Amino acid sequence: IEASIPSASRQVWQKFALKEFADKEEFQQEFIRHVETTLARSMYNCDDLAAYQAASQAIRDRLIVAWNKTQQKHTTKDRKRVYYLSLEFLMGRAMDNAMLNAGVKDITKQGVEDLGFKIEDLLEQEPDAALGNGGLGRLAACFIDSIASTNYPGWGYGLRYQYGIFKQRIVDGYQVEAPDYWLTFSNPWEIPRYEIQIDIMFYGYTRKYTNDDGKVVHVWEGGEQVQAVAYDVPVPGYGTETTNNLRLWASKPTREFDFEKFNAGDYESSVRESQKAETISAVLYPNDNFYSGKELRLKQQYFWVAASLNDIIRRFKKTHRPWKEFPDQVAIQLNDTHPTLAVVELQRILVDMEGVEWDEAWKIVTSTFGYTNHTVLPEALEKWPVPLFQNLLPRHMEIIYEINLFFLQQVEKLFPKDRDLLRRVSIIEESTPQQVRMAFLAIIGSHKVNGVAELHSELIKTTIFKDFVTVYGPDKFMNVTNGITPRRWLHQANPQLSDLIASKVGSYDFLKDLNLLKKIEPFAHDPKFQDEWVAIKKFNKARLAAHIKQSNGIDVDVNALFDVQVKRIHEYKRQQMNIFGVIHRYLSIKALTAAQKKDVTPRVCIFGGKSAPGYYMAKTIIKLINAVSEVVNADADIGDLLKVVFIADYNVSKAEIIIPASDISQHISTAGTEASGTSNMKFVLNGGLILGTVDGANIEITREVGENNIFLFGHLAESVEDLRHKHRFSDVPLDPNLEKVFEAIESGIFGDANIYGSLISSVTSSDYYLVSDDFQSYLDAQKLVDQDFKNKDTWASRSISAVANMGFFSSDRAIDEYAESIWNIEPISLD
């Protein structure tokens, strides 16, 4: 209040306040001002990079105006907000999205073209903001887009990694990692908030004393301090002025350096501490669906959670409400268990710092949090060794013991004498050393727990969290099926398809209400519409073919079937099954006569994805794909009937080119292992059909688009346990076609067979991912794809009706479900 401009002076202010661009001249004026002042360059010294930066600055200024207006409105309306805590936000590029949402795409395009630039070239200058591994991080990005677009008051909180997911290069067929220097040329899309600095403590010790009121008070002190500095990224909504905030924390040393050492001339060690502090937010852990148990990772988690909660509480305190109203003002969503420490930290602040009674505090905590589980894979579940935890966060460890004690007492009351149940649900696993089970802590500390697709949400209730359903009853557990933003994944990635759809829907309203896609269904059999539809697919395939030519030097035929599998490389996602299938296809084609070859449907098999740097099997799969690619593409017997391509460094920007170009995409995880998948939704939304297992969101996609518009195969989740059991305890014969594939690999036609020994033996010994069990069914489904692709009209009509029925998979729908059933928040309109 003290800092506000006096009422009498506000007219002056308003006169000069920044407004929207009236026309392209106004944009150009701003653009040139930024080139000349912000960048200190001139018309003789303005390349594409400078032009990208100046244009971004001009657009960013507008976003900031809308951002300010939104924050003011949300503060004066004083309503409940949601805070989405995610260690990953896989945003990709911002400029195109900012232009679209600010409604300045045409102005900017014409504005820069007058000055001799091409908008596409400027867009290409922007590095991806790749602060995530895969689906989980990209989901967070889609969600904050939807929260803004549907006018909910909500912020994202994350870490500002200096290095996002590594860059992948392929050398001699192998993945090689290089650091992702995304901040080299400064980032126009972030606003540093140097005034927001929060002290965060690690290590130290606890003690307790009795205060004057006879109350026992716990203190945590004597630890190391670092500072959290806020960087704000505006998140503009589409078709609304609402611009929300993504606040990312960077770590900084509390003191620049140790002055005593500095004065004593020991310069090097005087800066050592500061360097150590900065490593906390330095790099994203590059593991997807895998827990590695490193202390630095736990440090990152606490650093980010403590800074975010401090910020949220500071905001709440300004409203001068009693603590019991905290959950009426604040909802916090835990994106997987990574932010689970927030549960403990809030309890600590309330009890130790604010003097709230334990039980009342715990009620506030559990009413505030919701927890989303994203995986059932055992190797991904976070469990921290107690000694490590205790050393880093001694007071938090005590509080966890306390939470666990009260919880187990409650369970004991409900199920007296069931000692084994107590052991099974305890937050502390009694192993050596003991482990803190973060998922259990997240469940106990939240009022709602959700999975991310129907099958997954059922599975968590019957497997990993079964005992908690017994304790709490089924109502605490629910499903919110994932979604994707149609702005980026349809309109931006595939503008022509978006325009064609708009011509039939009558407007671009489907970008806000994706169910309107239904309106194109009547045109599924319209030959003219089909032609336009197919022409757009061909255009997108040509765009991808050009990219492949440029990056891989491979010529691919745009009339061939484009078969795509792009996602993180993981054994459970079964890229190995795909490449074994490719080898089978290769061997089959080679055995054909010239006449028989005429019937083959030409195919381009496209792979892309990163392996965790330490994941040997995944790296071997990449090597095999590249080895097969080299042999097949050079084989004159094969020609254009089969091409194999591995696209290096798959990321959001490449996804935007690859996804619109697919005829078929593969989502072929062992049933029950892929919680949802979200690229499956993106592919279908762009008119590609799916070849998939009965897993994750494939199941709901099938329900929406109809069984005729998807190619399903493989064993069901319910059979997986039995099949694995059989592999372990009896001799299961190898699938005969797979056997031939293995013989080919072992013959050395793809190079040194020893390289692939582990890949083959994992199938021939335990076959945990059931590659052999599903192989015949997979080949059959592929055969059907080959046949069906020949009938161009039917294929086009299936593609159109699939798209028409994808409305459900908008992330706007998912956010509405969270808002209604977990967060209890309502939209706020800005007018």
Task: Specify the amino acid at residue 179.
Answer: P
289 phi and psi, to 5 degrees? 55, 40
Total length of the chain: 831
318 phi and psi, to 5 degrees? -65, -20
Strand-pairing partners, residue 603, are: 561, 642
Q: Which is nearer to ligand 73E, 135 or 153 (CB)?
A: 135
Q: What pairing do the DSSP bridges indicate for beta strands 448-451 and 369-372?
A: parallel
Strand-pairing partners, residue 253, are: 226
CB of 711: closest distance to ligand 73E in angstroms?
20
Closest CA to 657 of 573, 542, 554: 542
CB of 165: closest distance to ligand 73E in angstroms?
11
Q: Which is nearer to ligand 73E, 51 or 438 (CB)?
A: 438
CA distances from residue 35 to 41, 44, 545 in whole angstroms, order as listed: 5, 11, 35
Dump the DSSP string for 178-196: E---TTTT--TT-EEEEEE
Q: Which residue has the tokens 């690999």?
A: 745
Known catalytic residue at 567: yes
Nearest-angstrom CA–CA distance, 646 and 625? 7
CB of 674: closest distance to ligand 73E in angstroms?
5
CB of 393: closest distance to ligand 73E in angstroms?
20
Nearest-angstrom CA–CA distance, 345 and 110? 51
Q: Which is nearer to ligand 73E, 92 or 173 (CB)?
A: 92
Dump the DSSP string for 686-722: TT-EEEEES-TTHHHHHHHH-GGGSEEES--HHHHHH
Known catalytic residue at 670: no
The one catalytic residue in 60, 374, 570, 798 is 374
Contacts of 200 (CB under 8 A, 6+ apart): 225, 226, 227, 228, 251, 302, 303, 306, 307
Q: Which is nearer to ligand 73E, 614 or 736 (CB)?
A: 614
Nearest-angstrom CA–CA distance, 127 and 187? 9
Known catalytic residue at 678: yes
**Helix, strand, or coil (residue 34):** helix
CB of 136: closest distance to ligand 73E in angstroms?
4
Q: Which is nearer to ligand 73E, 61 or 454 (CB)?
A: 454
CB of 255: closest distance to ligand 73E in angstroms?
33
Known catalytic residue at 77: no
79 phi and psi, to 5 degrees? -105, 170
Q: Which residue has the tokens 């924390």?
A: 249
Q: Which is nearer to ligand 73E, 336 or 700 (CB)?
A: 336
The one catalytic residue in 348, 567, 603, 813 is 567
The one catalytic residue in 240, 368, 620, 678 is 678
3-state SS record for 114-128: HCCCCHHHHHHHCCC
Closest CA to 303 of 323, 318, 331, 282: 282
**Helix, strand, or coil (residue 104):** coil
CB of 304: closest distance to ligand 73E in angstroms?
14
Q: Which is nearer to ligand 73E, 338 or 585 (CB)?
A: 338
Contacts of 294 (CB under 8 A, 6+ apart): 285
CB of 710: closest distance to ligand 73E in angstroms?
17
The one catalytic residue in 573, 623, 643, 813 is 573
Give the residues lining the site for ligand 73E (CB under 6 A).
133, 135-136, 139, 287-289, 336, 374-375, 380, 452, 482, 674-678, 696
Contacts of 567 (CB under 8 A, 6+ apart): 134, 135, 573, 609, 650, 677, 679
Cα torsion at 405, 408, 410, 414 (round to 10°)?
-160
Closest CA to 487 of 506, 509, 472: 509
Q: Which is nearer to ligand 73E, 117 or 808 (CB)?
A: 808
Q: Which is nearer to ligand 73E, 450 or 653 (CB)?
A: 450
Q: Which is nearer to ligand 73E, 690 or 744 (CB)?
A: 690
Known catalytic residue at 568: yes
CB of 377: closest distance to ligand 73E in angstroms?
8
CB of 160 within 8 A of CB of 303?
no
**What are the tokens at 412?**
């004991």
The one catalytic residue in 299, 504, 682, 813 is 682
Q: Which residue has the tokens 């969101």?
A: 697
CB of 604 within 8 A of CB of 556?
yes
Q: Which residue has the tokens 């401009």?
A: 5
Residue 782 CA from chain centroid, whole number: 29
CB of 657 within 8 A of CB of 684?
no
CB of 675: closest distance to ligand 73E in angstroms?
4
Sign of CA dihedral 483, 485, 490, 493: negative
188 phi and psi, to 5 degrees? -65, -15
Nearest-angstrom CA–CA distance, 112 and 46? 12
CB of 616: closest distance to ligand 73E in angstroms?
18
Known catalytic residue at 541: no
464 phi and psi, to 5 degrees? -65, -30
Q: Which is nearer to ligand 73E, 227 or 565 (CB)?
A: 565
Q: Which is nearer to ligand 73E, 108 or 375 (CB)?
A: 375
Catalytic residues, by residue number, are: 374, 567-568, 573, 678, 682
